[in-house]
Amino acid sequence: MSVGEPYDGTGAPVALRRPVRRVVSLVPSLTETVAATAPGTLVGATRWCTHPPGLEAERVRGTKNPDVRRIRDLGPDLVIANKEENRELDVRRLREAGTPVWVTVIENVEQALRSMRRLFEEALGVPVPGWWEGARAAFAAPPPAPLARAAVCVWRDPWMVVGRSNFASDVLRHAGAANVFQEHEGRYPRVGLDEIRDSGADLVVLPDEPYPFSADDGPEEFGERARLVTGRLLTWYGPSLTSALPLLRGELGFGDRPAV
């Protein structure tokens, strides 16, 4: 690694084109983050990048099947990816074509905050924004004693849940619930429906993404334990972190109940 050359979350050196004025984001959370922090730099994003609404950036297909050729043609100074959400194959193809790629690694809230700060200061070359300070303050207190045990479903047929070393589990802890599958060997394990029902969970959390659980799709399997929640509150890191906890607590049914 050359002197002064930054490295991304995986430890890979990134030969940045300075100044960074053209960015393609392949991560919905980070698309919102860049739009709020370095407005006007985004020239490309995935079709899953729904925030901010009305974002004027070319859509380069999805997180798992980005249009690598079109991304190269956009001439970005930087492409932002995530180890979990994007394929190593696509990252490698972009790098082999001479396109700088910054890969983030995010498994908990503290890591997300550190990763975003490095993205701002070392990759984008912009000041740390006020909303980042707000997010840090919102999660500064240690997680409370859990009010409930919860299973978090992310897909059905086959059923999949949030498992170990997962950002969503950490957000859930801060909101006051313990993930019953936290010790599972998989990060998003496939489990049987009966395994979820018999897991000891007081709540079965059904986010509206990546699978679009809704009032007519999901709660019927778990009865009164089912909780439909906004997926962005649970799985997105970025500006949404500033207000995620009280909103998520409300959707889980905790309201203003204190931790026990």
Give the model's pLDDT for residue 167: 97
Contact (CB, 8 A) for 128 and 117: yes
Give the model's pLDDT for residue 259: 44
Residue 81's identity, in one-letter code, is A
Give the whole-angstrom CA distance, residue 22 versus residue 74: 8
Beta bridge partners of 205: 152, 227
Number of CB atoms found within 10 A of residue 182's CB: 16
Give the model's pLDDT for residue 260: 36
The residue extents of the domains of the chain are 23-128, 148-252
Residue spans of beta strands (DSSP E) within 31-138: 42-45, 58-59, 78-82, 101-104
Give the model's pLDDT for residue 107: 95
Topology match between the domains 23-128 and 148-252: yes
| CB-side neighbour CA atoms (13 Å) of 221 | 19
Give the whole-angstrom CA distance, residue 66 versus residue 40: 21
Give the model's pLDDT for residue 17: 87
Give the model's pLDDT for residue 256: 52
Give the model's pLDDT for residue 4: 63
Give the model's pLDDT for residue 155: 97
Residue spans of beta strands (DSSP E) within 92-202: 101-104, 148-155, 160-161, 177-179
The residue ranges of the chain whose pLDDT is under 70 are: 1-4, 256-260
- pTM of the predicted protein model: 0.92
Third-level CATH fold of 148-252: Rossmann fold (3.40.50)
Third-level CATH fold of 23-128: Rossmann fold (3.40.50)
